Amino acid sequence: MSGPMLRLALRSLAHHKVRTVVLALCIALVGVLPAAVDGLLDLYRARLEARALSTPLVVGAPGSRSDLLIHALYYRGEVERTIEMKVAMEAGESGLGVPIPIHLEGSVNQYPLVGTTPDYQEFRGIRLAQEHHWPQRLAEAALGAGVARSLDLTVGGTIATDVHKLHDLAGSYPLLLKVTAVLPATGTPDDDAVFVSLHTSWVVTGEGHGHLEIDPEKDFHLVLESKSNHVTASAAVVEAVEVTPENEDSFHFHGDPDQLPITALIIDAKDAEGATILRSRFRRQKDLQTIDSMVELKELLTVVMRAKAILDANSMLVIVATTLLLILIVTLDVKVREREVKTLERIGAPRGFVARLLFTEVAIVVLAGGVLSYLLAIAAIRFIAEGPLLLP
């Protein structure tokens, strides 16, 4: 392609601005969806795989393996059943690894409320600023970077948990959480979660609670049943919605601590041998299932890729249709520009010059549309990538 031809092509495109812009936009719009989907899938695959690699062994109740994976690693969705806390305790007592229980049933402003132990911080390598500390006491919370930014909260702020059981006759109240840490942004699901101690999450889901002392003599209208060592009160007893130094001691959990529920258990195995032994032990227990995160993730991604293949086929059809339309437009354009073509021929344009000129114009439009498509896709990917992981 010679300089003069390129100049002629550019002049012609500039002269027919509307046509040029519309064509480039059409090409950009046709290309942006597959490009953005490709880019986003690559990004998400990388993120998901990184998370799975750093969390290789997960234990939960029998049920959907992919649900357990998504629940334990990405804090999305629910598991069908919980497991008991004693599973974590036994794993810890084995000395083969550090058990990191996950109790994820509540939420804060629709963000997942993750109850876990302080071991989680070390497991994920989370470094906190000097005045921040991982939540250890009741009603303390660490906010993911995305949550803090979205809710405009920082250390010292407070936020209430969401109420999920509005019609629960036993009473269900929000708990006011005090922010003790904001996690640094990592581009992982941690950015969009709120972390609390296991005890806090159990209070939120009603496994434990705090309320004023009831004197059966004075508060007889609140008492349903009174035995020598046990008083059953009605839901009219106002539960504490905020943990204060005055009421902190009133919080208590009914039942055996070993039997308190967790929704998943992450195992930070000491070494490969420890992981193998623990995996083997868990597999022998019928009320547990163990998943290898990478294996499960690859199976999950295979399903996603099958769906993407359908989208790719659809995109290919749209691209073919657009190409045919482009050919039609160029053919009609030659008719419209018959006078210009005739002039060039009469002045002495070499054979094929007009065809090369038209090809150059089309190439420039396609290139411009392609670049625009790429830029739009990059913008879309950046915009979406800054949001939460698009998982169910």
Partner 1 sequence: MTGSSVSVIDLVHRHVGQQHPVRVEKIAIEAGEKVAIMGPSGCGKTTLLSCIAGILSPSSGEVQVGEIRIDQLSDARRRKFRREHIGLVFQEFELLEHIDVMENSFLPLWLDGREPTEEEQAKLIERSRRCGIEDLLHRKPRALSQGERQRAAVCRALMTSPSLILADEPTGSLDGASGRAVLDLLFEEADLTGATVIVVTHDSTILDGFDRVEALAGSAS
Per-residue contact flags (x/-) with partner 1 for residues 217 to 236, judged by CB under 8 A: --------------------
Q: How many CB atoms within 10 Å of residue 392?
A: 7
Only one of the segments 56-64, 78-86, 176-184, 344-352 lies at the binding site for partner 1 (rule: CB under 8 A); that segment is: 344-352
5: contact with partner 1 by CB under 8 A: yes
Nearer to partner 1, 3 or 245 (CB): 3
Of 127, 249, 346, 392, which one interacts with partner 1 (CB under 8 A)? 346
17: contact with partner 1 by CB under 8 A: no
Phi, psi (5° rounding) for residue 171? Answer: 90, 135
347: contact with partner 1 by CB under 8 A: yes
CB of 7 to partner 1, least distance (A): 7
Number of residues that bind partner 1 (CB under 8 A): 24
Nearer to partner 1, 19 or 137 (CB): 19
The interface with partner 1 within residues 323-342 (CB under 8 A) comprises 339-340, 342
Chain-centre distance for alpha carbon 64: 19
Q: Which residues lie below 8 Å from residue 324, measured CB to CB, with a gap of 6+?
A: none
Nearer to partner 1, 41 or 344 (CB): 344
Only one of the segments 2-10, 58-66, 212-220, 223-231 lies at the binding site for partner 1 (rule: CB under 8 A); that segment is: 2-10
Nearer to partner 1, 12 or 205 (CB): 12
Nearest to 143 by CA among 130, 131, 159: 159
Residue whose entry in the numeric block shows the structure tokens 């002629």: 8
Q: Which residues lie below 8 Å from residue 39, measured CB to CB, with a gap of 6+?
A: 377, 378, 380, 381
212: contact with partner 1 by CB under 8 A: no
Only one of the segments 13-21, 157-165, 307-315, 378-386 lies at the binding site for partner 1 (rule: CB under 8 A); that segment is: 13-21
Of 95, 156, 350, 392, which one interacts with partner 1 (CB under 8 A)? 350
359: contact with partner 1 by CB under 8 A: no
Only one of the segments 9-17, 60-68, 206-214, 236-244 lies at the binding site for partner 1 (rule: CB under 8 A); that segment is: 9-17
12: contact with partner 1 by CB under 8 A: yes
Nearer to partner 1, 287 or 340 (CB): 340
343: contact with partner 1 by CB under 8 A: yes
Nearest to 303 by CA among 79, 112, 65: 65
CB of 10 to partner 1, least distance (A): 10
Nearer to partner 1, 13 or 27 (CB): 13
Nearer to partner 1, 126 or 344 (CB): 344
Kindly give the pairing relationship between strand 223-226 and strand 231-233: antiparallel
Q: Which residues bind to partner 1, rule: CB under 8 A?
A: 2-5, 7-8, 11-12, 14-16, 339-340, 342-351, 353
